[in-house]
């Protein structure tokens, strides 16, 4: 019991130090993705920048055209995200920073419309993207069976 609570209380790094088998290696290794370059897991910085780029138009439009800018911005963000994912396989923000969501069920294919809707709705809840695993996948990525990869 003390080993479990000791590793839990000491933080995530201590479990890896005490158990070499728990070492996940690089981000995406468990998903059989390359360590670096095209197809590797996109970093948190790129993902956040893409989110900011996608959020900005909705926030500006919502601020100027409605009385409830927060709800309008969220709705416009969700609409832009789902439409972009369905039509192009990525959002404008993803395109600018060179990343794309990739389906884990279809061997690197674009994500389906249903998965893009599910992923976007969870992304709008804010908390799921903050709960990340060792591969850098948020809870919204787990549910939608996706991973953000480097596209260029």
Residue 131's φ and ψ, nearest 5 degrees, are: -90, 95
Q: Are 144 and 81 in contact (CB under 8 A)?
A: no
Mean pLDDT computed over 99-106: 88
For residues 108 and 52, the model is more confident at: 52
Q: Are 40 and 34 in contact (CB under 8 A)?
A: yes
- Per-residue pLDDT at 1 exceeds 80: no
Q: Please give the Cα distance from 74 to 68 (Å, whole number).
A: 10
Sorted by where each begins, the domain ranges of the chain are: 27-150
Confidence tier at 108 by pLDDT (50, 70, 90): low
- Per-residue pLDDT at 3 exceeds 70: no
Confidence tier at 23 by pLDDT (50, 70, 90): low
- CA 74-89-110 angle, to 5 degrees, is 120
Mean pLDDT computed over 121-134: 88
């Amino acid at each position: 019991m003390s080993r479990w609570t000791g590793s839990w209380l000491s933080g995530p790094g201590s479990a890896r130090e005490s158990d070499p088998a728990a070492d996940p290696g690089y981000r995406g290794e468990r998903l059989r993705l390359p360590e670096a370059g095209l197809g590797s897991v996109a970093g948190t910085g790129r993902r956040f920048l893409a989110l900011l780029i996608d959020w900005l138009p909705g926030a500006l439009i919502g601020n100027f055209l409605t009385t409830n800018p927060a709800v309008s911005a969220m709705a416009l963000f969700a609409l832009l995200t789902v439409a972009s994912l369905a039509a192009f396989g990525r959002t404008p923000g993803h395109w600018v920073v060179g990343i794309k969501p990739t389906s884990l069920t279809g061997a690197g294919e674009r994500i389906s419309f249903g998965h893009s809707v599910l992923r976007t709705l969870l992304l709008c809840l804010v908390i799921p993207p903050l709960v990340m695993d060792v591969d850098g996948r948020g809870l919204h990525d787990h549910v939608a069976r996706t991973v953000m990869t480097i596209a260029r």
